[in-house]
């Protein structure tokens, strides 16, 4: 029985050590740039460790009622320690905006992720280690799928951006051609107005000239008639 109790404390101490590691990683994360591949990888590593720590806390919670203790006081102390550590983990998750940490089953879908506590029932230390490795493997696979989705989305976004840039250039070219055509049209209209004005002036001069010629001819005819008649 003492061995079982010591096993629980050993698991708890390992969880505490993992929590300290995560705290250090979060402090280190604050020195990273606000964005970038390295920052994303570091944040993903922190989230993965927080998820692993949450699984260990679920295991400790499940085993707590099965491990014999010396007194109720010791049981309450362990419950308080476990609750305090869980509160700390929730704060870590909140720091990284892991809003679904309280329901980690929704991360990869409830249809493929059974309840974490039920998976730990009846497992010894080796079984818990194997479960943790399995959880890590599933999380790695989920992160790989997420990475593929992100890359695919990135490629789609780049293609859409390129298409929008092409359309923008075409619209700019069209605007430029419209401006040039409008300028030419204005120039042609101006030339037509000048030509029309000159044409009207030329007609007036021609009419006057014809009138003068007609008067001169008429005078000559009258003079000839008077002279010879």
Residue 72 and residue 114: Cα distance in Å, rounded? 32
Number of structural domains, the chain?
1
Within a domain: residue 89? yes
- For 93, the domain range is 4-179
Integer Rg of the chain from CA = 46
| Locus of tokens 């869980």 | 86
Within a domain: residue 125? yes
**Closest among 52, 60, 16 to 143, alpha carbons compared:** 52
Q: Are 130 and 68 in contact (CB under 8 A)?
A: no
Token pair belonging to 184: 């030419």
Residue 26 and residue 105: Cα distance in Å, rounded? 24
Task: Report the predicted TM-score, pTM, of the whole model to 2 decimal places.
Answer: 0.42
Which pLDDT tens digit goes with each residue over 169-186?
888 888 888 888 888 888
> Across all residues in the chain, what is the average pLDDT?
76
Compute how many other C-beta atoms are within 10 angstroms of the C-beta atom of residue 45: 14
Within a domain: residue 83? yes
Look at residue 118 in the predicted model and tell me its pLDDT.
Answer: 53
Which pLDDT tens digit goes with each residue over 68-114?
777 888 888 888 888 898 888 888 888 776 655 555 444 434 333 44
């Amino acid at each position: 029985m003492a061995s079982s109790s010591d096993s629980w404390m050993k698991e708890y101490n390992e969880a505490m050590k993992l929590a300290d590691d995560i705290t250090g990683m979060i402090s280190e994360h604050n020195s990273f740039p606000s964005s970038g591949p390295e920052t994303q990888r570091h944040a993903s590593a922190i989230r993965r460790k927080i998820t692993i720590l949450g699984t260990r806390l679920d295991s400790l919670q499940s085993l707590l009622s099965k491990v014999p203790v010396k007194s109720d006081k010791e049981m309450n102390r362990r419950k308080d320690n476990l609750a305090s550590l869980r509160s700390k983990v929730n704060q870590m998750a909140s720091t990284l905006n892991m809003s679904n940490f309280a329901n980690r089953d929704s991360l990869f879908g409830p249809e493929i992720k059974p309840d974490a506590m039920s998976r730990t029932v009846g497992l010894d230390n080796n079984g818990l280690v194997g479960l943790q490795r399995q959880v890590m493997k599933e999380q790695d696979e989920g992160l790989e799928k997420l990475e593929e989705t992100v890359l695919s989305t990135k490629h789609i976004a780049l293609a859409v951006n390129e298409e929008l840039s092409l359309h923008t250039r075409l619209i700019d070219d069209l605007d430029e051609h419209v401006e040039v055509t409008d300028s030419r049209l204005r120039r042609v209209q101006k030339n037509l107005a000048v030509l029309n004005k000159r044409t009207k002036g030329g007609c007036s001069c021609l009419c006057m000239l014809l009138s003068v010629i007609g008067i001169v001819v008429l005078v000559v005819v009258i003079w000839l008639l008077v002279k010879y008649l």
